[in-house]
A and B are shown apart, each in its own frame.
Chain A
Amino acid sequence: MTPLTPLAALSGPDVAWYLIVAAILFSIGTLGVLVRRSPLIVLLSLEIMLNAANLALISFARLHGGHDGQIFALAVMAVAASEVVVGLGLIVAIARKRLDLDVDRLRVLRG
């Protein structure tokens, strides 16, 4: 039985292509944050932006052959998870106060 070819040995697209995908994904996320009114969709768009940054980190790690970028991407993942917890907690708290879930109408920070 022949051993499996390691993924790293297969020649795929250049790192530049990964970075282009990451840049397009980031601007899609930016558009979502700027255009949409629902705080839930704004959070989802933030996730897209964080993941685009992760993709860039991982492709740079591949470019330089070091693991630091991947470690950083894991830290970003943990921060994203924390952000979702706090963001969803805020959305639920806003909904329980019977306020509109609309980022254009939530202007007052007082509870």
Chain B
Amino acid sequence: MGSLLVWVVWVGAAFACLGSGVAVISFTNPFYSALALIGNLGSLAVLYLLASAEFLAAAQVLVYAGAVMVMFLFVIAYLGDAAGVPFGGGPSWVAVGAIVASAAILVEVVVAIGLKAGNSLSNEADVEAAFGSPGEIGRLFLTDHLLAFEITSIVLLIAAVGGVILGTQTRSERELDAQEPTA
């Protein structure tokens, strides 16, 4: 019974994930695309949970579906009409080539993983109930992976500084704003 329920939830989350992924790249309005991405991230969090990554599922909802997507929506709202760009570009062979290229990546990944690990993918290791819990992840971050943890914080700090620098108005932009006060 529990197994059937897991399968039903898994299939639902997987289809929601793929469907909202297609929706993200097919909406013309970036606002709807961002909303579809929130659905995508939410259903991915369900998949993480089923793969016993509890802490990551929570972090996914908090960091991505919460903070990052709110930032996206703010920027889309700030840009207003400027955000609306025609759907695709270039001649139609570019679109056909893109579809062929992404299908080729899909085939390559599936074939490579199938050849390398095809037989061993069904024998999962036995894990205890605490696998993927915040306690375990936190203990590893402060012991085995301390360097990665510290480097991650430095990367985030640099990104924050970069964001501030990119957001600062330069003199030429102030002159541009003075010429067109409507913006």
Q: Could you list which residues of chain A lie within 8 angstroms of chain B, going by C-beta atoms?
A: 5-21, 23-32, 34-38, 40-41, 43-45, 47-48, 51, 54-55, 58-59, 61-68, 70-71, 73-75, 77-86, 88-93, 95-98, 100-104, 111
Please report the number of residue pairs spanning A and B whose Cβ atoms sit closer than 8 angstroms: 271
- CB A63 to nearest CB in B, in angstroms, measures 6
Return chain B residues, CB-CB under 8 Å to A81.
63, 67-68, 156, 159
Report the nearest B residue to A9, measured CB to CB.
Answer: B129
For this complex, 30 residue pairs linking A to B, each with C-beta atoms less than 8 Å apart, are A7-B52, A11-B2, A11-B3, A13-B7, A15-B122, A15-B124, A21-B14, A28-B25, A34-B101, A36-B88, A37-B85, A40-B75, A44-B37, A51-B40, A55-B44, A55-B48, A62-B51, A63-B121, A63-B125, A65-B125, A67-B136, A71-B137, A85-B159, A86-B162, A89-B166, A90-B166, A92-B166, A101-B83, A102-B85, A104-B90
Q: Are A65 and B24 in contact (CB under 8 A)?
A: no
Q: Please measure, in the bound complex, the distance between the C-alpha atom of A58 and the C-alpha atom of B88, giving whole angstroms.
A: 33
Q: Which residues of B contact A74 (CB under 8 A)?
A: 56, 59, 137, 152
Give chain A residues whose Cβ lies under 8 Å from the Cβ of B48.
55, 58
Q: Are A82 and B109 in contact (CB under 8 A)?
A: no
8 Å CB contact of B128 from A8, A21, A43, A78:
A8
Known: A25-B18, A45-B24, A96-B173. A37 touches B109 (CB 8 A): no
B181 interfacial by beta-carbon distance below 8 Å: no
